[in-house]
Amino acid sequence: MRYDPIRIGQILGLSPRTSTYSVMEAAIRAGFPKAALYNVTNLIESEPGNARELAYAVVPKSTLSRRETLTPEQSERTERLARLFAQAEQVFGDANDARDFMHRAHPELEGRRPLDVAATELGARNVERVLTAAEFGLPV
């Protein structure tokens, strides 16, 4: 599956110029504004309190309160969530269905939620594998 950097940029609330992978990578290296984290967590979580908790799982609350710009590592974790959400939207055709997928325990993920598995890059790749299989009608 090819990821759409334009859609990922939209989810993050970044400039429309983030239309290529190299531009996205440069934005990660420079550090996203912390609003990018809130944009993606607000899409994934329907309750504002839950969105804040998800944001704090990506970047600790004390760090987030002190910074306006995320570190490259925090930006990378933020992009990872946006990328998975964009892929889920593409597979399921709808933001609500993508949100449901992110929150529902999945047997191919050892009964864990994709949102929890995606805390690491390797876990995110496993979620991508499940989404790709679903996209192509393979058993998952």
Q: What is the residue-wise DSSP string for 54-114?
A: HHHHHS-HHHHHH-SB--HHHHHHHHHHHHHHHHHHHHHSSHHHHHHHHHS-BGGGTTB-H
Residue range(s) defining the domain that contains residue 54:
5-135
- How many structural domains is the chain composed of? 1
Residue 49 falls within a domain, yes or no? yes
Q: Please, which residues have CB within 8 angstroms of residue 25's CB and are 6 or more apart in sequence?
A: none
- Of 123, 118, 120, 121, the closest CA to residue 102 belongs to 118
pLDDT digits over 56-113, tens only? 999 999 999 999 999 999 999 999 999 999 999 999 999 999 999 999 999 999 999 9
Say how far apart CA 76 and CA 58 lie, in whole Å.
10
Residue 140 falls within a domain, yes or no? no
Judge if pTM exceeds 0.95.
no
Residue 70 falls within a domain, yes or no? yes
